Structure 1
Amino acid sequence: MLNTKIIEFIKSNNIKHEIVQYSSTFSDVQLEEMVNTSTTELANAAVFKIDDWKYCCAFISASYDINQNHLKEALKVKHIDLIKDVNIEVSLFNSVLTNIWIDQDLATVVEEVFFLIDVKQRILLKIKTSILIESFDANIVNFKLSSKYRAKINFLSPQSNRENFEEHESCFFGVSLENSNFVRPKLMASLDWISRRFPSCLVLIGDSIHRITLEATQGLDPIEAHDKALFLGSIFLARERNIFKKFEHLCNFNFVFCSEVQSYPDYQIYYTKLQEIFEQDISFKASIRAFGENYHRKRRPQLSEKQWEYYIDKSSQYFLEEFAIFACLKRRNIPVFVYPGYFSTLTEIVDGKYPNALRELKELTVVSLHFRKRSKRN
């Protein structure tokens, strides 16, 4: 296989590298967190056949898919085929090694990159970008890569705002930590969607509210959960800040942490009011609890009744805190909330189901996004 031969070449030429084996229990989110710090990125190698006679190898970020039409345009060739996985003869491989390309986005990563070498054995190759370029005498090229996903509207509430929500100057984009909808390829799809519609966007990073999830799912005490949640929030921003910069020519992205918003004077007023509504409005309380029950449904068989109630109570607290934060942002003239996921109770609020709900929440426009895989050729 191509990756095996790359490893052999690196070892035989004493090129400085490191082999990393990660756990078979790692989810995509955990793998993303392991390799994608502020100065590292996950990448792949691929072989191309150009104009039916020339073979080349390209190193590209794993956050992207290769669009062959864009690639032909970038390389100014008539025909190009992507060979995903092939047993390469030594003579052919030597030819490939004389034509190495690296995408310019990957070339800007100043420290290490991780190459996914063997999915089954969970093996990564860690190597400095500068060493990679020097060792392979790589050409740096703008491949005009496409993001792996396209974000589309799943639903928008209230429907009456469907035709005019893009007229607003700004939106706020909610980020949930340790959530698979925010791995880099999907994050890029969300940012692409936002940047095409709004001149500015406030990115709301859910650090402090994530402590509630950590308390419930990891059994951490409140102080430990709070500290870890704030740390995860800062890590997310450090890791992904350069991704936001890719879209800054279209949209001005600013950042705020939930922990910051919860220090606003009006936050506690909103939160107290929401607690009162939760206790007084039976249907509102039932909706909040139902959302939590659906969120934790996979854990239900392993939990006692007492544990189950604990999970649902924590989930309810999470949503009430979150809604109070949203109200603070709406009060500061950010009327559109964008999120790659579903908020059933919030949708019911903006649709007018709860007359006693906070006015700031009732006046929001809620845009729920979902993702679709892009066509490789379009």
Structure 2
Amino acid sequence: MSSSTDLESIDWSELSLERLQLLQSRISKVINIKIQEKLTRSTSNFTKDHKYKASLAKVFPQSMRSSLFNNQKCVFAISLGSKNFVYSERVEACIRWISDNFKNCLVLVGDSLHRLTIEAREGIEEDLAYLKAIRTGEKFIDDHYLLFQEYSESCQFEFKMISEIGKQLDFDIYYEELQSLYGRNESFENTVNSFAEKYLNRGRPIEAGQVQDPRQKYLARRYLLEESALFACIAKQEWLVFVYPGSIKTFEEISEGLHPEVPEPLKQITWVSLGLKRLNAKESK
């Protein structure tokens, strides 16, 4: 009888909780050993060439730049669909920079948030967009898990799905506060609308007629408001340094204190913008 048949024949519900926990512990240890073996095989026979290098571009607020690394933990915000997260070489450059500068990193995968991008670009129904977004988030982790593990000796990486954060009560509270602020504060309204315009033109181009579609504009605005509420939830848990390859003007402005009426945890965030440089053959060694 095969091992797979043996496993399928077990009535797992008959096992005690203690027995299941013991099995889980043993299986986890074997999985970790297998991962390390695979990593060893994949790196022992060659020296990896790095195609990109990440470097510190800007810190907001600027006053935090000199003391940035006093905080030994950070959030790596993953924006699914963005070119910097589609190509593994760019992701690895960010991971390498983070592992050089922080001891702990929360990898925040924007799975459920990505549904809004799918809706805006593909025009499919919300339920289908949500399922596709969740699968995209899972695929990102599947595709990059070993890559993060390569740098786990110097930095402990922990994965967290945005969809988990969205279930928290605080999320609804912060989202309502941000919606209200958008409706009554012209400065905040302008920055959200500016983000929405760039968001709709990000990545593969959308036809000019589509950009003006009210539904797309609504989805783009909602993306930023939801993302802001989700980040506030994370910041409330004392994850206050956010690392991102590129620039998101809204969060830079919030960190600089230009929107003082946003939820308090958002104002405590230090926003770190990384620059990515493509290396030539000599530099990549």
Cross-structure match for 1:250: 154
- The structure that is helix-richer by fraction is 2
2:111–2:137: 8 Å Cα contact kept in structure 1? yes
| Aligned positions of 1:295-334 closer than 5 A | 295-297=199-201, 298-299=205-206, 301-303=208-210, 305=212, 307=213, 309-334=214-239
| Counterpart check, 1:352 vs 2:244 | no
Bigger radius of gyration: 1
Matched to 1:181, the amino acid is N
Cross-structure match for 1:136: none
Distance 1:304 1:326 in 2: 27
In percent, how many aligned pairs have the same letter?
33
Matched to 2:228, the amino acid is F
The structure-2 alpha-carbon separation of the partners of 1:354 and 1:141, relative to structure 1 and needing over 3 Å to count, comes to closer
If asked which structure has higher relative contact order (CA below 8 Å, sep 6+), I would say 2
Distance 1:237 1:225 in 2: 19
The structure-2 alpha-carbon separation of the partners of 1:293 and 1:300, relative to structure 1 and needing over 3 Å to count, comes to farther
Distance 1:207 1:267 in 2: 16
Distance 1:349 1:167 in 2: 21
| Counterpart check, 1:261 vs 2:165 | yes
Residue 153 of structure 1: how far off its partner (Å): 2.0
Q: Secondary structure at the match of 1:275?
A: helix
Cross-structure match for 2:16: none
Matched to 1:358, the amino acid is P
1:314-346 CA-partner distances (Å, limit 9, x unpaired): 111001100111111111011100011211111
Distance 2:198 2:127 in 1: 27
| Counterpart check, 1:143 vs 2:50 | no
Alignment counterpart, residue 60 of structure 2, candidates 151, 157, 171: 157
Cross-structure match for 2:132: 228
Matched to 2:243, the amino acid is V
Distance 1:351 1:287 in 2: 14
**TM, length-normalised to structure 1:** 0.61
The structure-2 alpha-carbon separation of the partners of 1:364 and 1:209, relative to structure 1 and needing over 3 Å to count, comes to same
Distance 2:181 2:267 in 1: 14
Residue 238 of structure 1: how far off its partner (Å): 1.3
| Aligned positions of 1:90-101 closer than 5 A | none
Q: Secondary structure at the match of 2:131?
A: helix
Q: Secondary structure at the match of 1:250?
A: coil
Alignment counterpart, residue 191 of structure 1, candidates 73, 95, 109: 95
- The structure that is strand-richer by fraction is 1
Distance 1:371 1:191 in 2: 12
Residue 300 of structure 1: how far off its partner (Å): 5.5
The structure-2 alpha-carbon separation of the partners of 1:289 and 1:241, relative to structure 1 and needing over 3 Å to count, comes to same
Matched to 1:229, the amino acid is A
Matched to 2:208, the amino acid is P
1:215-234 CA-partner distances (Å, limit 9, x unpaired): 11001101000111011111
2:79–2:109: 8 Å Cα contact kept in structure 1? yes
Cross-structure match for 1:126: none
1:98-139 CA-partner distances (Å, limit 9, x unpaired): xxxxxx96954xxxxxxxxxxxxxxxxxxxxxxxxxxxxxxx
Distance 1:374 1:152 in 2: 12
Q: Secondary structure at the match of 1:372?
A: strand
Consecutive unaligned residues of structure 2, counting only runs of 5 or more, are 1-37
